[in-house]
Amino acid sequence: GQGERLTVRGEGLALVGSVTFLGAPGRTDDRGAAPQRRAAHQLTVMVPEDAAPGPVRVLVRVSSKTQRSRPSQPLEVEPAAAAAERALAPAGDAVYPLRGKYTYGASNANRFGGGGRHQGQDVFAGCGTPLVAAQAGKVERAGFEGAMGNHVVVTRPDGASQVYMHLAGPPHVQPGDSVSAGQRLGAVGETGRATGCHLHFEIWNAPGWTRGVPIDPMPALRGWEGG
């Protein structure tokens, strides 16, 4: 409906410049909107308040020209809230990812969406605090890279991913490993671009890290407290 965020899935969506909501024939009441977030296989867009009900056409901007996209697969459109709800929904047992005392970062730089670029929630804890998998899945990435420092990406069977950054040392798991909820991944640290020992935690809806869309992990973290 109008004013609602939609998730659009398909191929080649990283180049999408605008999404047009078609009106009646003649195009006088067509309404366009720029994607809020986009990746190769998925984007989110806000439905204009005055958009007419009907199909969605995706336009790809190439240089100074706008062309109709021809995705290799049909586009799927659904309310973004539904996609986020699936990523936050329990997929088997879930536990809190830290085994020790912690506090949530409350500054703009620590919260999801802070500065328009922070894609997770920072959870501060003492260096060396045990870090475990919040939910079961397969390790997609594990190692060291730039600003992330030592990190682990675990992708659930439904395609949603959970990302753990700034581990103190090399992860205890390797890509391809299957992990269960509560399995040790490493320890809290401040490797990479980090100030103070903390876990930078992200959740991405399907099809997962960098392919899907990051969502606010705080509802999940709050729900896992005590677990």
Domains of the chain: 5-87 (no CATH), 103-224 (2.70.70.10)
Nearest alpha-carbon partner for 87 in 2, 8, 203: 203
Angle at the Cα of 16 from the Cα atoms of 13 and 19, rounded to 5 degrees: 110
More confident residue, 28 or 90: 28
Phi, psi of 33, rounded to the nearest 5 degrees: -150, 140
pLDDT for the residue 116: 66
User: What is the torsion angle, in degrees rounded to the nearest 10, for the CA atoms of residue 215, residue 219, residue 222 and residue 224?
Assistant: -80
Pairing mode, if any, of strands 42-46 and 5-9? antiparallel
pLDDT for the residue 67: 47
Nearest alpha-carbon partner for 125 in 98, 145, 149, 148: 98
| Average pLDDT for 40-54 | 74
What are the distances in angstroms from CA 219 to CA 85, 87, 88, 203? 10, 11, 8, 11
Read off the pTM.
0.67
Q: What percent of the chain has pLDDT over 90?
A: 48
Least confident of 7-21, 49-63, 90-104, 140-154: 49-63
pLDDT for the residue 70: 44
For the cut 50, the answer to whether the pLDDT of residue 222 exceeds it is yes
Tokens of 11: 């191929």
